[in-house]
Structure 1
Amino acid sequence: MTLQSTDVSCDGSQIAAARKQRFSQLLGKHRILLGLLLSYLAAASIIGIVLSEPMDTLRPEIVLWMIGALAPVFLISMVVWRFGNMVLNVRPDRPITWLVADLRDCMIQDHERIFGGLIAFASIIVFAATFTFVKDCIPLLNPFSWDPAFAELDRVMHGGSDPYVLLDPLFGNPLMTKLADGAYSLWFALIYFFAFTACMDKEDPQRRNTFLYAFFLCWMVGGSLLATIFSSVGPVYYDAFGFGDDFIPQTEALREIGQRIHLTALELQATLLDGYQNDGDLKGISAMPSMHLALAWLIAFQAFQYRKIFGWMMVVFAVIIQLSSVHLGWHYAIDGYVGLIVAIACWYAAKWLAKVQQRMDHTAQG
């Protein structure tokens, strides 16, 4: 009886050890991603200590709210992704049956995929909450001052004219302005889709890791470091922050169009300005570099990893975002050009990091 109990105890300890080893191996596959997250958290914590600012955006209730808000988007992204894979690659005789089985495998039965996906999803949530805090701290670290320089640089680069003036013959009407506004809103859906599908991309770890690392690096380098160094507000806020009346004709023209059609950009611009002036929940203002452009190019690079046609479609989308960001007053043209440079640099840095992670994975497997 004692011997049998000992055997059972040994079996249990062996199973526990095996599970612990498996957990460690799975966690190790995400050590660089988690390293980037922890590095950013550490930097944000230092900023909070230096400024004596509490990291309110990381309060448990806010993080839980973000999880609740984004979980449905995550699930929708999974369905769209697997449906697209079915239509383009598998083409089964019984599509609905195949899709249900595939989703069950991806979301329930494939433990390695699920574990890795949850790590990446949780990392994105925490990273986004941390980024919000850092962005709110930009004017405290370095007051907005670069706008006149960027406005003048834009004119020098574009023949002496403000770029929005050059775009006015094409975009200065309700139809094109609405299309620009819609493209800007679509950007959010595409970013979440590419980020969340990368979380669950088990088929190509190199592709998954490259995008996720580049995603984090773009926000860290472009949205935090460069945004703080070159602290600026963008044309739409030029007058409100005391830089002059250079862009009042642009903002007035947009408001006139906004009286005829609904523009999400005008609502969000007003919300951000009110939040900044009255310490509201949504108050992060930053123009240089354009993260809309940086991330639009990033998803274009990732789309090429699937099919060239998707990549070129996203290139067109990135160009539209560049033009829209100028027309809607969010950015100077130079913000977008720098955003492209940031995207390219972060993409190649992420590719190198993905290879490092791959070598570590091979070493761990023996």
Structure 2
Amino acid sequence: MGEIGTTGDAGLRQRLRRPSLLWGYALILLIGLASTIGIELYERLFDLPDTPMGGYGLAKVALVVAYLLALLRPIVLLVRRHPHPLKQLAADVREKRWWLATCAVAFFGLVQAMGFAGMAKRSIAQVQPFYADPYFIAFDHALLGADAWEYTHAIIGPLGTHAIDLLYGVWHLVNIGLIVWLVLSANRAFQVRAVLTFQLTWLILGGFLATVLASVGPCFMDDFFASDRFAPLMERLEEIDKLYPVNSFNSMEYLLSTYGTDAFAGGISAMPSLHVAIAFLVVLIAFERRSHVALRTLACIYFAAILVGSVHLAWHYLADGLASIAGVLAIWWACGCLTRVLAAQDRESRPDST
């Protein structure tokens, strides 16, 4: 796992002078600013009724997390009964000002990308009608000979379904935890690559492709296509719900009830699956950082649970998850190539390189 910003500020300042890091953070900032403009344009173009936690809901949650993290240092100083806590806090800010600056750029870029992707998702129906579900159903059937859920429910019973449902439900917490990890990482090359990947995953997969490939997923086929194809799956989940709570039903009801508004975490979109995309990104990051084997194992288990749960709980087609995996791999690889090119330019620009 990337270390929290404890390195000397002088060393970080020297590293920030390298073209690779400057261009990387400039790109993160540029994407964040473009996302901000995109949010404003969408708000002007599309009429989404306001809700109490709408619009910048994700930003509000992230800001609360950042505020709580900012309180940690003052609390530590008070607990240790530091004789001059305010002076020490001011000295800390001065000493870590470059690290704080990179944290701010990463935080801004991440939150704004998520905000625009969320706005785009909530506005899909005003751009074009949902149309693509039959194609993804046909893909799954051609690949598997049946709908994916028929295989998972033949193997996984009610208790296993309940466990997967619980893991699926904490995805937002995992997403927020990933943001904190990326923002506070002291490894700048890793931070640039991972933040860019996160931004582009949300924007390309969660915004652009979700709009182009407008689909609702198995759970909403009856509501939007008047199709009972997945009625057996929904009936199966209802039977399990009588034994163990299936919390996904609450989320489905929320999405339907807030459809067409700017509700927090609202909007209906199946292709591609951001749940699968972010879970897979956690795996890539865990292995990239050479994290402890326990963390890498947990990341793989969680990813597997999300991938299986996406079809098992009627949220997605298998095609949605496969597209997400391919998309994240492509973005991660491209951002890796970019950081390596910039790093090579950095080495060539050093005085001792000649």
Q: Give TM class, smaller chain.
A: 0.7 to 0.9
Aligned: 1:188 with 2:172: yes
State the alpha-carbon separation in 1 of the partners of residues 115 and 237 from structure 2: 31
- How far is the alpha carbon of 1:272 from its aligned partner? 0.4
Query: For 1:115-134, what aligned pairs fall within 5 Å after superposition?
Result: 115-134=101-120
Aligned: 1:142 with 2:125: no
Using CA pairs below 8 Å that are at least 6 residues apart, which structure has the higher relative contact order?
Answer: 2
Rg larger for: 1
- How far is the alpha carbon of 1:234 from its aligned partner? 0.4
State the alpha-carbon separation in 1 of the partners of residues 323 and 163 from structure 2: 24
Q: Please list the CA deviations of residues 93-139 of structure 1 after superposition, one character each: whole Å capped at 9, or x if unmatched.
A: xxx99xxxxxx99x855222222112212332233222221111111
State the alpha-carbon separation in 1 of the partners of residues 27 and 222 from structure 2: 43
State the alpha-carbon separation in 2 of the partners of residues 284 and 137 from structure 1: 8
TM-score w.r.t. the length of structure 1 is 0.75
Aligned: 1:288 with 2:281: no
Distance verdict in 2 for CA 1:45–1:54, change over 3 Å: farther
Aligned: 1:230 with 2:213: yes
State the alpha-carbon separation in 1 of the partners of residues 55 and 315 from structure 2: 32
Distance verdict in 2 for CA 1:60–1:232, change over 3 Å: closer
Residues 51 and 262 in structure 2, CA contact (< 8 A), matched pair in contact too: no
- How far is the alpha carbon of 1:280 from its aligned partner? 6.4
Q: Please list the CA deviations of residues 235-265 of structure 1 after superposition, one character each: whole Å capped at 9, or x if unmatched.
A: 0101111241001111122122223323321
State the alpha-carbon separation in 2 of the partners of residues 280 and 39 from structure 1: 20
- Counterpart of 1:133, as a letter, is M
- Counterpart of 1:227, as a letter, is A
Q: Please list the CA deviations of residues 287-319 of structure 1 after superposition, one character each: whole Å capped at 9, or x if unmatched.
A: 001111111111111001222624354233212
Residues 300 and 311 in structure 1, CA contact (< 8 A), matched pair in contact too: yes
Match of 1:219 in 2: 202
Residues 276 and 284 in structure 1, CA contact (< 8 A), matched pair in contact too: yes
- How far is the alpha carbon of 1:229 from its aligned partner? 0.9
Aligned with 2:316: secondary structure? coil
State the superposition RMSD in angstroms.
3.6
- How far is the alpha carbon of 1:46 from its aligned partner? 4.3
Residues 32 and 353 in structure 1, CA contact (< 8 A), matched pair in contact too: no
- How far is the alpha carbon of 1:146 from its aligned partner? 0.9
Query: For 1:31-180, what aligned pairs fall within 5 Å after superposition?
Result: 31-51=26-46, 65-71=60-66, 108=93, 109-159=95-145, 161-173=146-158, 175-180=159-164
- How far is the alpha carbon of 1:193 from its aligned partner? 1.9
Q: 1:248 aligns with which of 231, 235, 238?
A: 231
- Counterpart of 1:136, as a letter, is R
Aligned with 1:232: secondary structure? coil
Query: Number of residues paired by the alignment?
Result: 318
Match of 2:309 in 1: 324
- Counterpart of 1:302, as a letter, is I
State the alpha-carbon separation in 2 of the partners of residues 165 and 242 from structure 1: 21
User: Which ranges in structure 2 are unaligned for 5 or more consecutive residues?
Assistant: 1-12, 74-78, 81-88
- How far is the alpha carbon of 1:186 from its aligned partner? 3.2
- Counterpart of 1:231, as a letter, is A
Residues 222 and 291 in structure 1, CA contact (< 8 A), matched pair in contact too: yes
State the alpha-carbon separation in 1 of the partners of residues 52 and 188 from structure 2: 31
Distance verdict in 2 for CA 1:177–1:75, change over 3 Å: farther
State the alpha-carbon separation in 2 of the partners of residues 60 and 155 from structure 1: 37
Match of 1:17 in 2: none
State the alpha-carbon separation in 2 of the partners of residues 57 and 33 from structure 1: 29
State the alpha-carbon separation in 2 of the partners of residues 169 and 286 from structure 1: 26
State the alpha-carbon separation in 2 of the partners of residues 63 and 318 from structure 1: 22
Q: Please list the CA deviations of residues 42-82 of structure 1 after superposition, one character each: whole Å capped at 9, or x if unmatched.
A: 44444445446699999998587334433367579x99xxx
Aligned: 1:306 with 2:289: yes
Q: 1:274 aligns with which of 236, 241, 257?
A: 257
Residues 292 and 321 in structure 1, CA contact (< 8 A), matched pair in contact too: yes
Residues 48 and 55 in structure 1, CA contact (< 8 A), matched pair in contact too: no
- Counterpart of 2:197, as a letter, is A
Residues 148 and 243 in structure 1, CA contact (< 8 A), matched pair in contact too: no
Distance verdict in 2 for CA 1:123–1:41, change over 3 Å: same
State the alpha-carbon separation in 1 of the partners of residues 154 and 63 from structure 2: 43
Match of 2:85 in 1: none
Match of 2:182 in 1: 198
TM-score w.r.t. the length of structure 2 is 0.77
Q: Please list the CA deviations of residues 312-340 of structure 1 after superposition, one character each: whole Å capped at 9, or x if unmatched.
A: 54233212211111111110011000010
Aligned with 2:154: secondary structure? helix
Residues 58 and 114 in structure 2, CA contact (< 8 A), matched pair in contact too: no
Residues 144 and 233 in structure 1, CA contact (< 8 A), matched pair in contact too: yes
State the alpha-carbon separation in 1 of the partners of residues 277 and 262 from structure 2: 27
Distance verdict in 2 for CA 1:263–1:71, change over 3 Å: farther
Distance verdict in 2 for CA 1:247–1:136, change over 3 Å: same
State the alpha-carbon separation in 1 of the partners of residues 24 and 151 from structure 2: 49
Distance verdict in 2 for CA 1:75–1:271, change over 3 Å: farther
